[in-house]
Amino acid sequence: MASASASKYNSHSLENESIKKVSQDGVSQDVSETVPRLPGELPITEKEVIYICPFNGPIKGRVYITNYRLYLRSLETPLFAFVNEEKFNVDGWTVYNPVEEYRRQGLPNHHWRISFINKCYELCETYPALLVVPYRTSDDDLRRIATFRSRNRLPVLSWIHPENKMVIMRCSQPLVGMSGKRNKDDEKYLDVIRETNKQTSKLMIYDARPSVNAVANKATGGGYESDDAYQNSELSFLDIHNIHVMRESLKKVKDIVYPNIEESHWLSSLESTHWLEHIKASIL
């Protein structure tokens, strides 16, 4: 058994004895041990070690080996998180007030209301507790709509223009599947959203994925908004790849700059990572 800190036992079961350490010349030495041992647990040896911590780098420690376990004790090192005692005059937990933030944006108004349906994160665990939704949509409607969206991420307001009142909504993919399932509540809901913006007759739907990915997601129950089901809307794919592709691209960027940079093939190496293409797709 390996342990990174001292185990806790009842005081009567602890034995703090010295270890008989045999050096290379055969001379026994008493080494002070602070590791608690169980009754009958016999020390065998101890060694100074250095291990690599993913956060702090190389850290010195001492490994104690007995007939029962292998025990690792790190040398005491002060950590910034505990040493730094900076005081703040505000409570960080109350800095963000969702109601005040919505009021700053002019919400609620005669088109949009604040719903508390997700106050305990029961409807959608990855959404905020307060949601801004069309005024004409009830909470019961929201529950039915959420069932047709991946992870219950139904369309909710993210931003509203301060002057023309155009909005940006966010949501996940509809659960269309290979059979092309439809949900009348979801279709009506998107039409209600469109009607809140009197300056346009079409609802623009931007799907961040490449179109080929959206089609492939049908095989796993997902999909996208079809023209037949969502009339008066226009679907556009933004061709942004998923997180796995982004991570692999970033890894390739790291590989061409560390530990060595090959100047003669720098531009071609950078192009092969496709990193700049991903950046362009994300910001346009």
Residues 6 or more apart in contact with residue 165 via CB below 8 angstroms: 109, 111, 196, 197
Interval 157-185: pLDDT, tens: 999 999 999 999 999 999 999 999 999 99
Residues 233 and 128 reside in one and the same domain: yes
List residues forming the annotated binding site for substrate.
242-243
Residues 104 and 218 reside in one and the same domain: yes
* Counts for the chain of helices (H) and strands (E), in that order: 8, 11
Residues 197 and 131 reside in one and the same domain: yes
Q: Are 69 and 38 in contact (CB under 8 A)?
A: no
Better-predicted residue by pLDDT, 78 or 238: 238
List residues forming the annotated binding site.
242-243
Tokens of 99: 């109601």
Whether residue 108 has a cis bond before it, omega within 30° of 0: yes
| Full domain range(s) for residue 151 | 97-237
Residue 113 CA to residue 134 CA, distance in Å, equals 6
Residues 114 and 188 reside in one and the same domain: yes
Residues 233 and 101 reside in one and the same domain: yes
Integer-rounded Cα radius of gyration of the chain:
30
Q: Are 130 and 158 in contact (CB under 8 A)?
A: no
State the chain's maximal CA–CA distance in angstroms: 92
Interval 44-92: pLDDT, tens: 888 888 878 777 778 788 888 887 777 666 666 677 777 888 888 889 8
Least confident of 69-78, 216-225, 234-243: 69-78
Residues 229 and 267 reside in one and the same domain: no
Q: Are 99 and 114 in contact (CB under 8 A)?
A: yes
pLDDT, average across residues 14-22: 39
Residue 75 CA to residue 86 CA, distance in Å, equals 25
Residue 47 has what pLDDT?
83
pTM listed for this prediction:
0.68
Residue 140 CA to residue 121 CA, distance in Å, equals 16
Residues 39 and 129 reside in one and the same domain: no
